Chains A and B, each alone.
Chain A
Amino acid sequence: MLKLARWRYLTVIIVTLLGILWALPNALPPNIRAQYPGFLPNKTINLGLDLQGGSHLLFEVDKDAVYKQRLETVADDLTGALRGVRKAGELGARKTPIAFSGRGQSSDGSVVRVTITNLSDMPEALNRISKLGQPIDGASGVIANTDLLVRNVANNIEISLSPEAKLAMSRRAVTQSIEVIRRRIDETGTKEPSITRQGADRIVVQAPGESDPEKLKSLIGQTAKLTFQLLDDSVPVAEAMAGRIPPGSVLLPQPSQPNEPFVLVKRRAVVSGENLVDARPSFDQQTNQPVVSFRFDGAGSRAFGRVTTTNVGKRFAIILDDKIISAPNIQSPIIGGAGVITGGFTVESAAELSTLLRGGALPAPLTILEQRTVTAELGKDAVEAGATAGIIAMVSVMIFMFLAYGFTFGGFSILALCVNIVLIFAGMGAVGATLTLPGIAGLVLTLGMAVDANVLIYERMREEFAAGRSAALAIDAGFARAVVTIIDSHITSLLSALILFYFGSGPVRGFAWTLSLGILTSVFTAVLVSQVLIALWFRQTRAKVLPI
């Protein structure tokens, strides 16, 4: 064995050189890396949020709100369908109205109920209701189901959403939300945010360098559903607050006006945020107050112009997320499709609202499940502490190995350890792993545990030599016997690191990364690298005695 096959030497040399090449960018300052030739690896290890500072936010999409919205539309359409109203463009004769009562939505919004007066109308009623269904996203084939589940017991019909429809709807809501969040965050100039889906209904937002999560949260946490609705002045607000709200109207709060805390508005929106093409913060020319100026698209301008023309002298409300921002008088028809929103803004809130409106509305409210922030200084401290700990560990392990195995063999194991560290850094850079604070702990721990393989080999050599074998045979036997043990024992460590990787999240995953990489590389360096070193040494010295 001391005449090692050539491939062993080659493998050690090639892998070590590649390792240095890949690990090098981490050691170079950015300005030198910028001049690096393009064919060389130039990736550095990603630092986790806990090391570079930043915010981690986990949101959940309120699925129930999405389902409820869909069923509200169904409930609205239901009335028309049963009365036999034709939809725009629908052909054929007017259908006969079906008598019904008790149309309503359950309190949690998950079921729409209606009672058909005459049982004989039931088949036709069911037929019309089933036409209200929409195809499910992604479903195909002849029996592509619609999204509605219609059940009837005696005179009652219950409409709910099918499980597949719910799944498709929440997926779509998450996808749309991610787009909206990205648009909103991009506008603020936050650097490289990562916005990813997690599971069926969650979104992770990670913003490196952002140590003020409140700004992000208010940016993402608002639905920003903007509507323009006419006021309902048929009933005084006091009476509406006492419970007499006319059908088709709704009482909404107006936080900015303490002398008019509630306003009664018609449910139907004249124009909504979807019709906006632009929104910007600006100042009112007379009062110099901050305002938000906006522009509608063609359809929005036409609808708004039509309604304001016929309602001069009346009031309309500008509503954001079910709260009234302001409720101005229509002094003259607004035809140009541009306008301003006033409502006691500050410069910041006007800027924020503009950003939200430009980004569009979220399909459903988001609730925050988890928020973690590390300030940049704390991250820097952690990196420095980790580096110091690493150096202390490295030096003390080196001294110990020298003391225990002498300069020759101790030196070999230290050289192998150095190659090991280079390989870990190279490996982390190459696979794009993230280094976290527990990851640094894993790295330092690897330093301590990596020499284990060397120790196993050396101890075995000592034993074989003590048992009377020649130096060459003892070296040989030491490697051959220890390798089996090394592989067995390292596989168990690797298994637990892999489990950690599978179940862990965030920083812990970073730990699992460094630990598993460290285990793999330490087997390589301890077995192959030190074997090559010792074989070279033996060829030079032809030693009769093992210096360990």
Chain B
Amino acid sequence: MTTKKSIWPLIRLVPKQTHYGFVRFARMAASASVVLVILTFVAFATGGLRQNPIAEFNNAQGGFGQKIGAVFADAFNLGIDFKGGVSIEAIAPTAIDMGTVRAALHTMPGIRDPQVQGFDKPSQIMVRFLAENNRNEQAIQTVKTELAKVVPGVRFSPPDIVGSKVSDELYRNGIMALVAAMAMMLVYIWFRFELQMGVGSVVALLHDVVLTLGFLSVTRLEFSLTSIAAILTIIGYSMNDTVVVYDRLRENMRKWKSKPMDELIDLSTNETLSRTIITGMTTLLALFGLTVVGGTTIQSFTIAMIFGVFIGTYSSIYVAAPFSLLIPRSGKVQKLQTMHDDRP
């Protein structure tokens, strides 16, 4: 056995005992987070840092509200799930020049807001557009005949169509799902831990959700139903991480009643650090496999998830725990739930 001990483990990602001063950097981390959040909102207003919002505002028709709406209209590369319209896949014998297709689409009658994106292979593209007056069938016919002129030998898959009624509902449901998820997390943490911890974790979640949205905005990854699934999974993952840290914090608070809170946070974060990193690693390993071979359809999901694993880990160390420092404690530390006293 003793010989084994010297061989295994082969890798040790984190030294046996760490004493990093996480809280010392909390102020810096908080500033970084605030900057990133502000950047996210800038990205929303500029179509992912690609447009001039002031020009958009001035060019837009209608009243102030509509102009503001126009500025934020391109915040995401919305798929047909949330925007409605038609999406159709075109396959050609040779590589398709997206510029040509884009130019051709912009001149077609009865078609609004066309978008072209690559798909799996260079000879494959995905075209999305809205049909004027909901005349989808007609618009699809136009696109098929006109594209056949510029892309020789092109074939089309059966189109996907989502009516505006359905896309509005999906959009509403998506938002409700996010809100409901965060509300439930708040209640759960409040119930199991303390209110300021619940608030801390929900602030961390908001932070994760907002930054993930910003990430989707800047990368122009298609924002679809699966993106909502990705965000909810990130919420689950980030919360999972936060709970592990909180759980240790609660234990240490009971163990070291006289220690100040910032030291306890440092101690707990250090004690759980190797777990945080190992779980993050295995999750990332699984996600990388999916991203590389999983195909375009789930790539937007996995890329968002990879971002979420990083941001979720960061937020549980730097947002959730330090944030609970900010809220004045009610002096009921000793009155924490005592359901784990049977531990050895």
Same complex: yes
List chain A positions with a Cβ less than 8 A from chain B: 50, 55, 58, 60, 211-214, 368-373, 375, 378, 381-382, 385-386, 388-393, 396-397, 400-408, 437-438, 440-442, 444-445, 447-449, 451-452, 455-456, 459, 462-463, 466, 473, 476-477, 480-481, 484-485, 488-497, 499-500, 502-508, 511-512, 515, 541, 543-545, 547-548
* Given A389-B293, A397-B282: A507 and B162 interface contact (C-beta under 8 Å): no
The reply to whether B284 and A448 contact each other, CB–CB distance below 8 Å, is yes
In the complex the two chains form, what is the Cα distance from A466 to B302 in whole Å? 37
- Tell me the residues in window 164-220 of chain B with beta carbons closer than 8 Å to chain A beta carbons: 165-166, 170, 173-174, 176-177, 180-181, 184-185, 188-189, 192
The reply to whether A503 and B282 contact each other, CB–CB distance below 8 Å, is no
- Tell me the residues in window 36-85 of chain B with beta carbons closer than 8 Å to chain A beta carbons: none
Q: Is B297 an interface residue (CB 8 A)?
A: yes
Closest chain B CB from A517 CB (angstroms): 14
* 5 interchain residue pairs of minimum CB distance: A448-B286, A406-B8, A392-B289, A503-B177, A496-B236
The reply to whether B188 and A492 contact each other, CB–CB distance below 8 Å, is yes
Task: Report chain A residues within 8 Å CB of B9.
Answer: 403-406, 548
Task: Report chain A residues within 8 Å CB of B226.
Answer: 438, 507-508, 511
In the complex the two chains form, what is the Cα distance from A459 to B289 in whole Å? 26
Closest chain A CB from B238 CB (angstroms): 9
The reply to whether A392 and B293 contact each other, CB–CB distance below 8 Å, is yes
The reply to whether A496 and B283 contact each other, CB–CB distance below 8 Å, is no
Q: Is B160 an interface residue (CB 8 A)?
A: yes
In the complex the two chains form, what is the Cα distance from A378 to B9 in whole Å? 43
Indicate which residue in B157, B225, B284 contacts A373 across the interface (CB closer than 8 Å).
B157
The reply to whether A455 and B159 contact each other, CB–CB distance below 8 Å, is no
The reply to whether A466 and B161 contact each other, CB–CB distance below 8 Å, is no
| Residue with the highest number of chain B CB atoms closer than 10 Å, among A60, A404, A451, A544 | A404
The reply to whether B274 and A381 contact each other, CB–CB distance below 8 Å, is no
In the complex the two chains form, what is the Cα distance from A493 to B240 in whole Å? 6
Closest chain B CB from A411 CB (angstroms): 11
The reply to whether B286 and A447 contact each other, CB–CB distance below 8 Å, is yes
List, sorted by A's number, 7 A–B pairs whose CB atoms are closer than 8 Å. Answer: A391-B289, A396-B288, A403-B11, A445-B290, A496-B185, A500-B177, A506-B225
Q: Is B107 an interface residue (CB 8 A)?
A: no
Q: Is B294 an interface residue (CB 8 A)?
A: yes
In the complex the two chains form, what is the Cα distance from A488 to B247 in whole Å? 8
Is the contact region of chain A dominated by helix, strand, or loop, or is it mixed?
Answer: helix
Segment of B20-28, B96-104, B227-235, B328-336 in the binding face: B227-235
| Residue with the highest number of chain A CB atoms closer than 10 Å, among B4, B185, B244, B287 | B244
- Tell me the residues in window 287-303 of chain B with beta carbons closer than 8 Å to chain A beta carbons: 287-290, 292-295, 297-298, 301-302
The reply to whether B1 and A545 contact each other, CB–CB distance below 8 Å, is yes
Q: Is B259 an interface residue (CB 8 A)?
A: no
Closest chain A CB from B335 CB (angstroms): 19
| Residue with the highest number of chain A CB atoms closer than 10 Å, among B166, B176, B278 | B278
Indicate which residue in B10, B158, B285, B298 contacts A393 across the interface (CB closer than 8 Å).
B285
Task: Report chain B residues within 8 Å CB of A449.
Answer: 237, 240, 279, 282-283, 286
Task: Report chain B residues within 8 Å CB of A545.
Answer: 1-2, 4-5
Closest chain A CB from B65 CB (angstroms): 28
* Given A441-B301, A548-B9: A58 and B166 interface contact (C-beta under 8 Å): yes
What are the interface flags for B298-311 relative to A under an 8 Å C-beta threshold, 1 for contact and 0 otherwise?
10011001000000
Task: Report chain A residues within 8 Å CB of B278.
Answer: 400, 404, 455, 459
In the complex the two chains form, what is the Cα distance from A382 to B294 in whole Å? 7
Question: Closest residue of chain B to A58, judged by CB?
Answer: B166
In the complex the two chains form, what is the Cα distance from A93 to B60 in whole Å? 71
In the complex the two chains form, what is the Cα distance from A502 to B177 in whole Å? 8
Q: Is B243 an interface residue (CB 8 A)?
A: yes
Closest chain B CB from A114 CB (angstroms): 35
The reply to whether B294 and A492 contact each other, CB–CB distance below 8 Å, is no
The reply to whether A445 and B166 contact each other, CB–CB distance below 8 Å, is no
In the complex the two chains form, what is the Cα distance from A70 to B341 in whole Å? 71
Question: Closest residue of chain B to A214, judged by CB?
Answer: B158
The reply to whether A492 and B236 contact each other, CB–CB distance below 8 Å, is yes
| Residue with the highest number of chain A CB atoms closer than 10 Å, among B235, B243, B292 | B243
Q: Is B340 an interface residue (CB 8 A)?
A: yes
In the complex the two chains form, what is the Cα distance from A258 to B283 in whole Å? 67
Task: Report chain A residues within 8 Å CB of B10.
Answer: 402-403, 406
Is the contact region of chain B dominated by helix, strand, or loop, or is it mixed?
Answer: helix
Indicate which residue in B161, B174, B233 contacts A368 across the interface (CB closer than 8 Å).
B161
| Residue with the highest number of chain A CB atoms closer than 10 Å, among B177, B272, B284, B294 | B294
Task: Report chain B residues within 8 Å CB of A476.
Answer: 344
Closest chain A CB from B94 CB (angstroms): 20
In the complex the two chains form, what is the Cα distance from A385 to B302 in whole Å? 14
Q: Is B275 an interface residue (CB 8 A)?
A: yes
The reply to whether B275 and A459 contact each other, CB–CB distance below 8 Å, is yes
In the complex the two chains form, what is the Cα distance from A390 to B298 in whole Å? 13
In the complex the two chains form, what is the Cα distance from A500 to B239 in whole Å? 15
The reply to whether A488 and B243 contact each other, CB–CB distance below 8 Å, is yes
Task: Report chain A residues within 8 Å CB of B301.
Answer: 438, 441
Indicate which residue in A392, A485, A502 contacts B247 across the interface (CB closer than 8 Å).
A485
The reply to whether A445 and B283 contact each other, CB–CB distance below 8 Å, is yes
Q: Is B149 an interface residue (CB 8 A)?
A: no
Indicate which residue in A369, A447, A485 contacts B244 across the interface (CB closer than 8 Å).
A485
The reply to whether B229 and A504 contact each other, CB–CB distance below 8 Å, is yes
The reply to whether A473 and B344 contact each other, CB–CB distance below 8 Å, is yes
The reply to whether B228 and A388 contact each other, CB–CB distance below 8 Å, is no
Q: Is B271 an interface residue (CB 8 A)?
A: yes
Q: Is B16 an interface residue (CB 8 A)?
A: yes
| Residue with the highest number of chain A CB atoms closer than 10 Å, among B189, B233, B239 | B233
Question: Closest residue of chain A to B275, judged by CB?
Answer: A459
- Tell me the residues in window 233-280 of chain B with beta carbons closer than 8 Å to chain A beta carbons: 233, 235-237, 239-241, 243-244, 247-248, 251, 271-272, 274-275, 278-279
In the complex the two chains form, what is the Cα distance from A373 to B251 in whole Å? 53
In the complex the two chains form, what is the Cα distance from A505 to B172 in whole Å? 13
Question: Closest residue of chain A to B163, judged by CB?
Answer: A369
Closest chain B CB from A332 CB (angstroms): 43
The reply to whether A396 and B285 contact each other, CB–CB distance below 8 Å, is yes
Task: Report chain A residues within 8 Å CB of B32.
Answer: none
In the complex the two chains form, what is the Cα distance from A239 to B274 in whole Å? 89
Task: Report chain A residues within 8 Å CB of B170.
Answer: 505
Q: Is B19 an interface residue (CB 8 A)?
A: no
Indicate which residue in A438, A451, A547 contacts B8 across the interface (CB closer than 8 Å).
A547
In the complex the two chains form, what is the Cα distance from A403 to B247 in whole Å? 27
Closest chain B CB from A19 CB (angstroms): 21
Indicate which residue in A401, A408, A442 contacts B282 across the interface (CB closer than 8 Å).
A401
Question: Closest residue of chain B to A377, judged by CB?
Answer: B157
Task: Report chain B residues within 8 Å CB of A455.
Answer: 275, 278-279, 282
* Given A438-B229, A455-B278, A507-B226: A213 and B236 interface contact (C-beta under 8 Å): no
Question: Closest residue of chain B to A199, judged by CB?
Answer: B169
The reply to whether B158 and A213 contact each other, CB–CB distance below 8 Å, is yes
In the complex the two chains form, what is the Cα distance from A491 to B187 in whole Å? 12
In the complex the two chains form, what is the Cα distance from A372 to B295 in whole Å? 18
In the complex the two chains form, what is the Cα distance from A396 to B271 in whole Å? 26
The reply to whether A385 and B295 contact each other, CB–CB distance below 8 Å, is yes
Question: Closest residue of chain B to A473, judged by CB?
Answer: B344
The reply to whether B166 and A452 contact each other, CB–CB distance below 8 Å, is no
The reply to whether B289 and A370 contact each other, CB–CB distance below 8 Å, is no
The reply to whether B286 and A393 contact each other, CB–CB distance below 8 Å, is yes
Question: Closest residue of chain B to A407, judged by CB?
Answer: B8
Question: Closest residue of chain B to A457, judged by CB?
Answer: B275
In the complex the two chains form, what is the Cα distance from A385 to B295 in whole Å? 7
Question: Closest residue of chain A to B290, judged by CB?
Answer: A389
Closest chain B CB from A428 CB (angstroms): 17
* Given A438-B226, A489-B243: A375 and B279 interface contact (C-beta under 8 Å): no
The reply to whether A452 and B240 contact each other, CB–CB distance below 8 Å, is yes
Closest chain A CB from B34 CB (angstroms): 25
